[in-house]
Amino acid sequence: MLDKLRKIEEKYIENQALMETQEVYSAPERYSALAKEQKELQPVVETYRRLVKYNEAAEEAKELLGDPEMRDMAREELESARLEAERAEEELKILLLPRDPNDDKNVIFEIRGGVGGDEAAMFAADLYRMYMMYAESRGWKTEIAGINETELGGIKEISFVVEGDGAYSRLKFESGVHRVQRVPETETSGRIHTSTVTVAVLPEVGEVEFHLDPAELQIDTFRSTGAGGQKVNKTESAIRITHLPTGTVVECQDERSQYKNKDRAMKILASRLYEAERRKQEEAIARERRSQVGTGMRNERIRTYNFPQGRVTDHRINLTLYKIEAIMNGDLDELIDALITADRAEKLRGEE
C-alpha cells in the first residue's frame, strides 16, 4: 500500500507543478481536469502524509526508550503516535476503495405513488418536499422535469433534477420502495393505513457517455396537462420520447420551451437506459458477491416511516431513528451517513 501511496503523492506534486505553468493555466479545459483530479487526490495525500509523520514520530520515540530519563515520556509518545498511525491507515483503506464513477454527477430523481391510492400520492408529495429541503440544506439546485399531480395535492409521479457537488454520492441509496404507516387525512375512523412510494435515483449522463440512436426514438409533442388552472400549458411544448427497442417512455412538460423540454427528456432517457444497463451488471456481480448496500435491492422495501410511533427504520442496515418530523423536514444526514458507512464496510470486507 505504501508504494501505491508514494506514487499518488508524486502524481499530486506533479499535477500541482503543471497547474502553475502558463501552458496549463491558459488552457481552461486541461486546468479544470487537473483541478478535479487534485480534488480527488488531496484527501489521500494529506492522510498519507499524516501516516508518514506519525510513523516517523514513533521511530523517534523508540530511540528514546533506552534513555532512563526519557523512557516514560517516550513510551507515551510512542503509544500516541502508533494510535494516530493506525487511525490514518484505516482512513486510507477507505479512501483507496474504488470510487463510484457516478458519485460526482447530478441526479435525476423519480418518485411515484405505489400501493395506497390517494394516500400513496400524498406521501409521494411529502417525500418530494423532504428531498427538496435536504437539497436546499446542502446548497444544491433543483429543477422539476415533469409532474403529475392529483386533485387533493398529492403527486402520482414526478421527475426532477438535483445539481450539486457530490449529489449522487449521497442520494444514490434512496432508490427503492419507501413504506409509510399513518392515519390519512381523509380517514375518519382513525385507522392506520400502509402505503408505498417508489423512488429511483439515476446519475445524469451525457450524450458522450451514452449514445442514443435517433432512428430508435419516437418523439411526440403535446399540450401540458395538470391539476387545472394556470398550470395547464396552452401550447404543444410538452415532449414525449419513446425508446422503441425497450419501450421506455419519458415525458417532460415543466418548461414552456419545447427545446428545453426535449433536451431534458433526452437526458432523462439516456440516464434511465444507462442505469438499466448498469443494474444488469450490478445484479450479475451481486449474485456472486452479496455485498453492496443498495445494490440489487431497488424493488425491495428499503425504509418504513411510521408516524404513530414517530420512527423511521431503514431495513437494509437495521437502523431506527425516532425523529420522523426532523427527517420529513429534510434532516437526512444521519441516515445517509450510516448507509455510506455500511457500504464502505461491506466493500472493505470484499477487499480482504
Q: What is the pLDDT of residues 195-250, one digit of tens each?
A: 999 998 988 876 545 677 788 888 888 776 654 444 444 556 788 888 888 888 88
Residues 203, 232: one domain? yes
Residues 85, 127: one domain? no
Residues 44, 158: one domain? no
Amino acid letter, residue 325:
E
Inside any domain, residue 100: no
Residues 210, 282: one domain? yes
Q: What is the pLDDT of residues 287-339, one digit of tens each?
A: 543 433 333 333 468 999 999 999 999 999 999 999 999 999 999 999 999 99
Residues 294, 345: one domain? yes
Inside any domain, residue 101: no
For residue 4, pLDDT over 60 is answered with yes
Residues 136, 13: one domain? no
Sign of the Cα pseudo-torsion (132, 136, 137, 139, in order): positive
The string over 197-214, giving b where at least 16 C-beta atoms fall within 10 Å of a residue's C-beta and e elsewhere, is: bbbbbbbbbeeeebeeee
- CB-CB contact of 36 with 105 (8 Å): no
Confidence of residue 82 (pLDDT cuts 50, 70, 90): very high
In the listed set 41, 66, 95, which residue is the last one of a domain according to the structure?
A: 95
Name the residue among 179, 132, 152 with its Cα closest to residue 312. Answer: 179
What's the CA gap between 269 and 229, in Å, rounded? 29
Inside any domain, residue 315: yes
In the listed set 51, 69, 95, which residue is the last one of a domain according to the structure?
A: 95
Give the domain range for residue 45.
Answer: 2-95
Name the residue among 105, 178, 167, 168 with its Cα closest to residue 136. Answer: 167
Inside any domain, residue 151: yes
Residue 92, C-alpha cell as written in the block: 486510507
pLDDT at 225: 60
pLDDT at 237: 75
Euclidean distance between the first and final Cα of the chain, in Å?
13
Inside any domain, residue 314: yes
* CATH code where residue 50 lies: 1.20.58
pLDDT at 210: 63
Residues 73, 138: one domain? no
How many other C-beta atoms can be found within 10 angstroms of the C-beta atom of residue 339? 22
* CATH code where residue 317 lies: 3.30.70.1660
Residues 75, 120: one domain? no
Residues 261, 197: one domain? yes
Residues 76, 153: one domain? no
Question: Helix 2-19 vs helix 28-64: angle between axes, to the nearest 10 degrees?
Answer: 140
Q: What is the pLDDT of residues 128-140, one digit of tens each?
A: 999 999 999 999 9
Residues 167, 88: one domain? no
The string over 237-260, giving b where at least 16 C-beta atoms fall within 10 Å of a residue's C-beta and e elsewhere, is: bbbbbbbeeeeeebbbbbbeeeeb
Residues 89, 123: one domain? no
Q: How many domains does the chain have?
A: 2
Q: What is the pLDDT of residues 147-172, one digit of tens each?
A: 889 888 899 999 899 999 889 999 99
In the listed set 73, 95, 117, which residue is the last one of a domain according to the structure?
A: 95
Mean per-residue pLDDT of the chain: 84
pLDDT at 293: 38
Residue range 18-36: mean pLDDT, rounded: 88
Q: Percent of the chain at pLDDT above 90?
A: 41
Inside any domain, residue 292: yes
Query: What's the farthest any 2 CA atoms get from each other in the chain?
Result: 90
- CB-CB contact of 169 with 104 (8 Å): yes
